[in-house]
Amino acid sequence: MDPPSAQSRGSARSSLIDSIRGCTLAGVRIHKDELRKKITFPEYLRLAVREAILAKDVSAPAVVQLHESAHAEGKEPAEPAEMPLVVFINSKSGGRHGPELMARLQELMGEEQVFDLSAVKPHEFVQYGLGCLEKLASLGDKLAKETRERLRIVVAGGDGTVGWVLGCLGELNKQGRLPVPPTGIVPLGTGNDLSRSFDWGGSFPFNWKSGIKRTLDKVTSGPISHLDSWHVLMSMPAGKELETPHSLKETQETPLDQDLEVDGDMPEKVNCYQGVFYNYFSIGMDAQVAYGFHNLRNKKPYLAQGPITNKMIYSGYSCKQGWFFTPCISDPGLRSLKNILRIYVKKVNCSKWEQILVPSSVRSIVLLNLPSYGSGRNPWGNLKPNYLEKRGFVEAHADDGLLEIFGLKQGWHASMVMAELISAKHIAQASAIRFELRGGEWKKAYMQMDGEPWKQPMNKDFSTFLEIKKVPHLSIMVRGE
């Protein structure tokens, strides 16, 4: 028999690739109608949730009417969804694919289950959408009860969007409204480190029209994992205006941890802010670059139209900021964070605060919660058991109740860390952290939480404090394995 031609081999290979693309990991092709049946609410529940959100009332007349009509005598009962899904999509993310993706999602499930975040905010869904299902369940509606208990969430967006949704779902813990729906991810952002950490990938798939079916199917069956989140409380001298990111909100004056005494005088009046992060918090050089990049993108949005363009502009802006030319800066006293920063931590298995020294060479301090940072890098590194034991560290995980604290020096060091040629400068692992910043000759510092940067005014007479502690309840994630 003659050997197969190159053309036939190519056709066979192409067919194999097409088959793989149309199948799940288990090798079963996903049919659109079967998927739709599996994830779509009964019609009256979809409409009731929509009406409750529009009216901002879980007992709106339209909701009551839909419920009564569905349970009228002689009415054939609806079929429950095996694993109902709700999707939140940031249609402005993903470049030109955002609106197309939203249309595709609405085609694959009940369109009332797909929420554009520009129109419906996640806290509105939690309050009125889930509240509607809970209200109907309390009236004896078994389908509403099953839908609420089985529900899973999908977030199509970047890390900031995912964190926004997780924060709103976390309110369910405080209100005793359990269970909290697990969350899967469609990555539409630039870095997508949350998505990478839970196996949903680092970028929007090229073959997304078929890929989105596989993603939705994976969300219905994927294993559950957990994620720590971290509460930030900042107390600063009153008087200076602060342009806060979305993740940081002004709050009433809140006392600092009394187990750690403040060294020095406190101002008569303070302004307090609080927020939550899931990926990282940083102070210094990297936050300054992020701040410059965000300002540039806001002023000239046409320059940043997609993840690749964003990364190129970001890299160029990094060079412009002086990361690589620290030795040429005229005032060497302003090179290191040691001049303005004190760090106190509670280390592994320790309930007492301990001050740790800021290395003199460090220009950026990062607190990392995930094994992914800066578009998939792991600056903490995969440390060997002997080194972990020597330093008093433990193996890092996203749900271990600890933050990894590391430092970046000048730009050359940061570049090698991000290329994963070396690890960052390990400083500590901690279950709670306090930063104290005092200005001196510095007029400002730069900070960021999960990619949202801001410029922090400094005071030479009084300190600014930031306390970072773990949120008591874990976020619940679906893994994309």
Q: Show the tokens assigned to 399.
A: 């749900």
**What pLDDT band is residue 283 in, cutting at 50, 70 and 90?**
very high
Q: Any idea what DSSP says for residue 112?
A: G
What is this structure's pTM?
0.82
Name the more confident of 392 and 28: 392
Angle, CA of 414, 419 and 423, to the nearest 5°: 65
What is the per-residue pLDDT for 445? 87
pLDDT in tens, 112-151: 999 999 899 999 999 999 999 999 999 999 999 999 999 9
Residues 6+ apart with CB under 8 A from 177: 130, 134
Name the more confident of 221 and 438: 221
What is the per-residue pLDDT for 15? 36
Q: In what order do the strands lie in the sheet with 354-356?
A: 248-251, 270-277, 230-237, 464-470, 432-437, 341-346, 354-356
Average confidence (pLDDT) over 395-401: 93
d(CA 390, CA 383): 11
**What pLDDT band is residue 422 in, cutting at 50, 70 and 90?**
low
CA 57 to centroid of chain Cα atoms: 29
pLDDT in tens, 66-99: 999 999 887 888 888 999 999 999 877 655 677 8
3-class secondary structure, 406: strand
Largest CA distance in the chain: 93
Q: Show the tokens assigned to 127.
A: 């309050």
Q: Is the per-residue pLDDT at 62 higher than 90?
A: yes
Q: Is the per-residue pLDDT at 21 higher than 80?
A: no
Q: Which of 40-54, 157-171, 220-234 has the lowest mean pLDDT?
A: 157-171
Which residue matches tokens 């999602």?
105
Q: Which of 254-258, 259-263, 321-325 has the lowest mean pLDDT?
A: 321-325
Fold topology of 230-472: Tumour Suppressor Smad4 (2.60.200)
What is the per-residue pLDDT for 319? 47
Q: How far, in Å, are 134, 135, 191 from residue 138 at the CA level? A: 6, 5, 42
pLDDT in tens, 328-370: 444 444 457 888 899 999 998 888 999 999 888 888 899 999 9
**What pLDDT band is residue 206 in, cutting at 50, 70 and 90?**
low
**316 near 284, Cβ under 8 Å?**
no
Domains of the chain: which residue ranges?
A: 26-222, 230-472
**Single-letter amino acid, residue 331:** D
Q: Is the per-residue pLDDT at 240 higher than 80?
A: no
Residues 6+ apart with CB under 8 A from 186: 89, 101, 154, 155, 156, 157, 195, 200, 204, 212, 215
**What pLDDT band is residue 314 in, cutting at 50, 70 and 90?**
very low
Q: What is the mean pLDDT of the chain?
A: 82
Considering only CA atoms, which of 205, 209, 195 is closest in space to residue 22? 209
Q: Is the per-residue pLDDT at 456 higher than 80?
A: yes
d(CA 125, CA 48): 12
Q: How many CA atoms lie within 13 A of 2 on its CB side?
A: 5
What is the per-residue pLDDT for 373? 80
Residues 6+ apart with CB under 8 A from 144: 45, 133, 134, 136, 137
d(CA 282, CA 379): 13
What is the rounded radius of gyration, in angstroms, for the C-alpha atoms of the chain?
25
Kindly tell me the number of DSSP H helices and DSSP E strands found in the chain: 15, 19
Report the share of the chain in percent with pLDDT over 70: 80
Average confidence (pLDDT) over 45-69: 95
Q: Which of 43-47, 241-245, 386-390, 470-474 has the lowest mean pLDDT?
A: 241-245
The DSSP string of 276-314 is EESSEEEEEHHHHHHHHHHHHHHH-GGG--SHHHHHHHH
What is the per-residue pLDDT for 286? 79
